[in-house]
Amino acid sequence: MEPFRIDELARRLFEKLPPAVRSVQQDLESNFRAILREQLTKLDMVSRDEFDAQAKVLERTRAKLEALEGRLAALEGGVAGPAPGAPDRPPPL
């Protein structure tokens, strides 16, 4: 998770505390950040950059797959139908 998001989460947690507890702001913010970072690193997540990169790879792969499926359909259509000028009877065995 990006550092500014962790800071934002820590700030939001701090704002939920009663005013009397806010006097120890520095310690609490440091502890909140440390705990959040520690717990978030244990999660099996990828960064946004890695996610975006993999999404682009998937998009290119899908485009290639669709192109190959189109070529295969065209080839199968050519093989399935009789060749132009060929007799309508099956070939001899």
Residue 90 lies in a domain: no
Residue 38 lies in a domain: yes
pLDDT 10s digits, 66-93: 999 999 999 998 775 555 555 555 555 5
Asked whether residue 8 falls in the same domain as residue 37, the answer is yes
Query: What pTM, to 2 d.p., does this model score?
Result: 0.43
Asked whether residue 37 falls in the same domain as residue 53, the answer is no
Query: Which residues form the domain of 31?
Result: 3-42
Between residues 37 and 79, which one has the greater pLDDT? 37
Residue 86 lies in a domain: no
Count of domains observed in the chain? 2
CA end-to-end span of the chain = 68
Residue 62 lies in a domain: yes
Other CB atoms within a 10 A radius of the CB of residue 32 amount to: 19
Asked whether residue 12 falls in the same domain as residue 31, the answer is yes
Query: Per-residue DSSP letters for the chain?
Result: --HHHHHHHHHHHHHTS-TTGGGGHHHHHHHHHHHHHHHHHHS----HHHHHHHHHHHHHHHHHHHHHHHHHHHHHHHHHSPPTT--SSPPP-
